[in-house]
Amino acid sequence: MSKQRVVITGLGVCAPNGVGVPAFKEALETGKSGIRFYSELEKLKFSCQIGGMPLISEAVKTKYFTPLQLRNFNSAGILYGVVAGVEAWQDAQLPTDEEQCDFDSGTVFGVGSLGVDKYRESIYKIDEGNTRRLGSTSVQQTMSSGVSAYLGGMLGLGNLVTTNSSACTTGTEAILMAYERIKAGKAKRMLAGSTSDGGPYVWGGFDALRILPSKYNDKPTQASRPLAGDAAGFVPGCGAGALVLESLESAQQRGAKIYAEILGGSSNSGGQRNEGSMTAPNPIAVKRCIEDAVVDAQISTAQIEVINGHLTATSKDGLEIKNWSEALKRSGVDFPYINSLKGMTGHCLAASGSIECVASVLELKHQFLFPNINLHTVHDEVLEHISESKIPRVKTALKFNYLAKASFGFGDVNCCLIFKTF
Amino acid sequence: MSQDIYPQLKEIIKPYLPEDVNPDAISHESHLVTDLNINSTHLVDIVLDVEDAFDITIEDDELDKMETVKASIALIEQKLAAR
């Protein structure tokens, strides 16, 4: 059986600097930060009292959820995932049949930890001996697959409905898994995305690791500084991104708008060997992941024109640039353009990959590069490998066709995707 | 007594109705699941709301006495009288 080509026909996003694709696109173009100070974090004595959270109005909530669904609802990850996922589905102009499920449509919607606030609420009741008062929805709001379960029901999905989890690689991996399913002819349409809860109970562990910036509590929008010499750690974020992936055949049959094509991708792990550990990447595996993605896409490394990096604003940014440079065998001015969304959104953890893929697809579709914000002096380790001219600091119009996106996560896991204009 | 309970119970039930069921469909004879199409998992939420509204406790083995509006009112009356 011939392999299916896979295109993107819908986008949805719920990001700290913009909820909904139009607001998010504008934020990308203007370099708008979504990082804010949270007094709750100050009260709880966090070192880092800032973060990135999508601002969801009551009107948006009631647009996507029924009053019954909102009753006793307290799962931010499901809220973000549903807002992004349903937006993507509607953007693709796919119908939702209220009577029958669609066996050709499914979802891979990843999470890190889900429903943490609901879990906390339940734990208090359980410890008080009040388990019987949890209500009927505490399971569905806290199970990892809660977000795919909500989306599956709202959209009537009848193909694979599942949730993946691989730390900060989750979102990019979800898209790769959905791509592979369509390519193999096992589904015609897949909603691919990921979501992450935020707030003190998700971010606390990172604060304890002392890897978050603590000197920017009074100037939050300047805190996230990927690639910078004075990068001070990653700013925690949350939200969700979603893409409708569709076989080219299905998209053309129904005359769908096509944003871009996915040419291929790869995922692997460094096995926490060599320089790799639970929290640090094995460079051999990172490079191999990028190389394998290029091979899978059936292009050459010379064709990559733009990279959307993982680039979290920790001390690992220099190593990431080195890995890209060695994997692509390109350096200096020959290196592709590269940017990191995390300057604007912070690190949205399990949601970062999908939100950043939405940004990448918007760049391809509208032929521009979003700016790397908060970048005044590029880190020396970065400049050892690539030219400063390849790191745009303002919105830049660019005619280009090939974009590589990679995400890396705790557990020494990697994922890389290759997108192309259509 | 049941005249007071009925409107309160109706208000408790309303939010759990599927979107295509009109609240006017609620009557004394209604079976919550089969007539009103309420998702059976929501019966535990209705029980909790009833407990809060009337300050009573409904035991797990009494859940099957709340299948219809009429039976629920009877159970609530019985609980209130025993208080």
User: Is residue A2 included in any domain, yes or no?
Assistant: no
Query: pTM for the full model?
Result: 0.97
User: Is residue A146 included in any domain, yes or no?
Assistant: yes
The tally of domains found in chain A comes to 2
Chain segment A234-259, per-residue pLDDT in tens: 999 999 999 999 999 999 999 999 99
Same domain, A207 and A281: no
Residues 6+ apart with CB under 8 A from A249: A4, A5, A188
- How far apart, in whole angstroms, are the C-alpha atoms of residue A64 and residue A79? 9
SS3 A20: coil
Same domain, A163 and A209: yes
Same domain, A58 and A188: yes
Same domain, A152 and A271: no
What is the identity of the amino acid at B71? A
Residue A386 structural domain: 264-420
Residues 6+ apart with CB under 8 A from A102: A156, A157, A158, A159, A189
Per CB-CB distance under 8 Å, the chain B contacts of A132 are 60
User: Is residue A278 included in any domain, yes or no?
Assistant: yes
User: Is residue A1 included in any domain, yes or no?
Assistant: no
Residue B1, pLDDT above cutoff 60 = no
Query: What integer pLDDT is reported at residue B4 of this predicted model?
Result: 87
Same domain, A109 and A253: yes
Mutation for B interface: A64, A66, A68, most B CBs within 10 A? A68
Give the residue from A260, A288, A316 where a domain finishes. A260
Mean pLDDT of B28-32: 95
User: Is residue A158 included in any domain, yes or no?
Assistant: yes
For A183, the token pair is 């390519």
Same domain, A391 and A371: yes
Query: What integer pLDDT is reported at residue A248 of this predicted model?
Result: 98
Query: What integer pLDDT is reported at residue B19 of this predicted model?
Result: 86
Query: What integer pLDDT is reported at residue A364 of this predicted model?
Result: 98
- Which residues in chain A show pLDDT less than 70? 1-2
Per CB-CB distance under 8 Å, the chain A contacts of B52 are none
Query: What integer pLDDT is reported at residue A2 of this predicted model?
Result: 67
- How far apart, in whole angstroms, are the C-alpha atoms of residue B77 and residue A134? 25
For A98, the token pair is 């209220």
Q: Which residues pair with B31 in a beta bridge?
A: B68
Same domain, A237 and A281: no
Domain boundaries, chain B: 2-82
A99–B contact, CB cutoff 8 A: no
Describe chain A by its helix, strand, coil percentages, rounded to 5: 40, 20, 40
- Whether A60 and A19 have beta carbons less than 8 Å apart is answered as yes
Fold of B2-82: 1.10.1200
For B9, the token pair is 């119970």
Write the CATH number for A312.
3.40.47.10
